[in-house]
Amino acid sequence: MENFDEYETVFIGYPIWWGDMPMIVYNFLEQHNFDGKTIIPFNTHEGSGQAGTQNTLENMFANTIVEKGLALRGADAQKMEADTQAKIDEWLEELGFPKTEIESSTFNFETKTVKLNSGYEMPILGLGTYALSDEQAENSTYWALKAGFRLIDTARIYGNESGVGRGIKRAIDEGIVTREEIFVTTKMWTSDYENGESAIQASLDRLGLDYIDLMILHHSQPQNDITAYNSMEKAVKEGKIRSVGLSNYYDEDDFDRVANAVEIKPALLQNETHPYHQSGKMKNHIAKYGTVLESWYPLGGRGHTQTLFNDETIASIASAHGKSSAQIILRWHLQAGQIAIPGSSNEQHIIENYDIFDFELSQEEMNDIAKLERNERFSNY
């Protein structure tokens, strides 16, 4: 292990077999000098507990501090992932190692933006336009920009890019915003992957824009999604697109397949994410590319919002803050480090959705929502 001497504290994780450590752990311990260091074990077991291996470590090293470690039953840890994560976070905090969210650390709640790996600043809260008609999209886009939103999300397959463009033009013409203040996302549909260059220009024409801030491949399609991605990379070099990303890639290997085959790494991954499907594993995985997670269906989506709004935990937190359940969920998204794009054709709902920057959820409340994880999606695409 490189630079081992520089570490003062060493965490050692291993499964406990028949009350003992695996041989590979013994080999590691014997190959390194732990004098003056602190060892902190963490383990899974199926009933034997940690006491035996804790004693073994203490007896092996005379000049080493062995702190009380954490031991979890392996079966329980796998079944209750959110609860396990909360226990680990609490344990680390007690040891003086508070949890650091890599993804959310770049979220700036003053500017309400996050810096993408492309170098551009992206708003962390936006308007989604899925299922809105062209006319509804125009009005909602205008209302959103008037309310303070600066991120607008659309897609070719939504059939409302023209409406979004008109809403943007209306807001600009009235002096509400400038083009430079708006971040526009659209998506390339799968049937266009073989003709990506034409699809990009068609989206630009429908939106009435000179450039698209972020363009995303709408779905994984291994036979030609890399070809489509390459066309977006070309458009970046031509100034037609500023950042590129992916949507609906739920398998880590599938995401890696694209990320490792292209020159410009995805700036963003847009997946279904909400309190019952928190996408934590995928969010952690894509962080190594500098990729940010964005949540579609952040409130559960049409037909499922009331399920989340009426959840006892969420409703209780909403009552404590004098906010709506929707506002609590959206605030949770941002503090968890994922961009949220709630959709609505109701002006008052749009205004309400933006009014989430005057309060903060406590760590306990964040942990309570984390425990709602069910790995339950509300859609199948």
Residue with tokens 């209302």: 143
Neighbours of 246 (CB within 10 A): 25
Please identify which of the residues 14, 120, 142, 158 carries the catalytic annotation: 158
Here the tokens at position 76 are 């329980």
Say if residues 38 and 64 touch (Cβ distance below 8 Å).
Answer: yes
Q: Which residues pair with residue 9 across a beta bridge? A: 38
DSSP 181: G
Q: Residue 79, Cα to own-chain centre: how many angstroms?
A: 22
Say if residues 50 and 43 touch (Cβ distance below 8 Å).
Answer: yes
- E-strand ranges in the chain read 9-15, 38-45, 65-66, 70-73, 107-108, 113-115, 121-123, 126-128, 151-153, 183-188, 212-217, 241-247, 268-272, 292-296, 338-340
Q: How far apart are CA 341 and CA 332, in angstroms?
A: 13
Q: Residue 125, Cα to own-chain centre: how many angstroms?
A: 13
Here the tokens at position 87 are 């226990």
Residue with tokens 């794009």: 341
At 151 the three-state DSSP class reads: strand
Q: How far apart are CA 295 and CA 289, in angstroms?
A: 18
Residue with tokens 């299922």: 131
Q: How far apart are CA 215 and CA 205, in angstroms?
A: 14
At 214 the three-state DSSP class reads: strand
Residue with tokens 């994922």: 338
Q: For residue 158, indicate whether it is catalytic.
A: yes
Catalytic positions, please? 158
